[in-house]
Chains A and B, each alone.
Chain A
Amino acid sequence: MAEKITLGKALNHGLRRALENDPKVVIMGEDVGKLGGVFRITDGLQKDFGEDRVIDTPLAEAGIVGTAVGLAIRGYRPVCEIQFDGFVFPAYNQIVAQVAKMFYRSKGKVRVPMVIRIPFGGGIGAVEHHSESPEAYFAHTPGLKVVTCSNPADAYTMIQQAIASDDPVVFFEPKRRYWEKGDVDLDAPLSGAYPLHAARVARPGTDATLLAYGPMVRVALDAAAAAAEDGRNLEVVDLRTLSPMDYPVIFESVKRTGRAVVVHEAPGNLGLGAELAARITEECFYSLEAPVLRVTGYDIPYPAARVEEDYLPDLDRLLDAVDRSFGW
Chain B
Amino acid sequence: MAKGERKAGAVPPSGGGADAPAGGFVQLLTPDGEHLGSVTTADGTTYSVDFTDEEYRGLYRDLVTVRRLDAEATALQRQGELGLWASLLGQEAAQVGSGRALRPQDMAFPTYREHGVLYCRGIDPIMPFGLFRGVDQGGWDANEHKFNSYTIVIGSQTLHATGYAMGVTMDGKTGSPDGEAVIAYFGDGATSQGEVNESFVWSGVFNAPIVFFCQNNQYAISEPLERQTRIPLYNRAAGYGFPGIRIDGNDVLASYAVTRAALDNARNGQGPTLIEAYTYRMGAHTSSDDPTRYRIASEVESWKAKDPIARMRAFLAKQKVAGEDFFAEVDEAAKTLALDLRERVLAMPDPQPVTMFDHVYPHGSPELDEQRTAFTEYHASFEGSGH
Contacts and interface: CB of A to CB of B under 8 A. Distances in A.
Interface in A280-326: none
B149 A110 contact: yes
B153 A93 contact: yes
Interface stretch (A63-71, A115-123, A155-163): A63-71
Contacts, number: 143
B362 A90 contact: no
A70 B361 contact: no
Given A63-B195, A106-B142, A244-B365, A70 B156 contact: no
Contacts of A94: 156, 159, 195
A111 B142 CA distance: 11
B143 interface: yes
Contacts of B366: 244
B283 interface: no
A105 B148 CA distance: 11
Given A69-B163, A71-B167, A93 B156 contact: yes
B223 interface: no
A244 B360 CA distance: 12
B149 A106 contact: yes
A228 interface: no
B163 A67 contact: yes
Interface stretch (B3-11, B30-38, B196-204, B332-340): B196-204
Interface string A90-111: 1001100110011111111111
B166 A67 contact: yes
Contacts of B162: 63, 66-67, 70
A142 B163 contact: no
Assign chain B's interface to a size class.
35 or more
Interface string A116-147: 00000000000000000000000000110100
Interface in B124-150: 136-143, 148-149
Given A71-B164, A74-B163, A107 B361 contact: no
A57 to B, nearest CB: 8
B304 to A, nearest CB: 36
Contact of B143 (A110, A166, A247): A110
Contacts of B359: 103-104, 106-108
A109 B164 contact: no
A248 to B, nearest CB: 8
B159 A102 contact: no
Contacts of A143: 360-361
Given A71-B163, A73-B160, A244-B367, A107 B139 contact: yes
Contacts of B53: none
A75 interface: yes
Nearest to B367: A244
A26 B163 CA distance: 12
A103 B360 CA distance: 7
A73 B164 contact: yes
A52 B163 contact: no
A73 B141 contact: no
B202 A62 contact: no
Interface in A226-282: 244-245, 247
Contacts of A111: 362
A81 B194 CA distance: 20
Contacts of A103: 359-362
B314 to A, nearest CB: 41
B362 A108 contact: yes
A24 to B, nearest CB: 9
A321 to B, nearest CB: 27
A106 B363 CA distance: 15
B360 A142 contact: yes
A90 B158 CA distance: 16
Interface in A149-183: 166-167
Nearest to A246: B366
A58 interface: yes
Closest 8 CB pairs of A and B: A70-B163, A66-B159, A67-B163, A74-B167, A70-B164, A63-B198, A107-B139, A166-B362
Interface of B: 109, 136-143, 148-149, 151, 153, 156, 158-168, 170-171, 194-195, 198-199, 201-202, 205, 358-363, 365-368
22 contacts: A52-B170, A62-B194, A62-B195, A63-B159, A65-B159, A66-B198, A68-B163, A69-B160, A70-B161, A70-B166, A71-B163, A71-B164, A73-B163, A74-B163, A74-B164, A103-B360, A106-B141, A106-B149, A107-B139, A107-B358, A107-B359, A244-B367
Given A98-B156, A106-B149, 13 more contacts: A52-B170, A63-B201, A69-B163, A70-B162, A70-B166, A71-B163, A73-B148, A94-B159, A104-B137, A106-B138, A109-B141, A110-B143, A110-B149
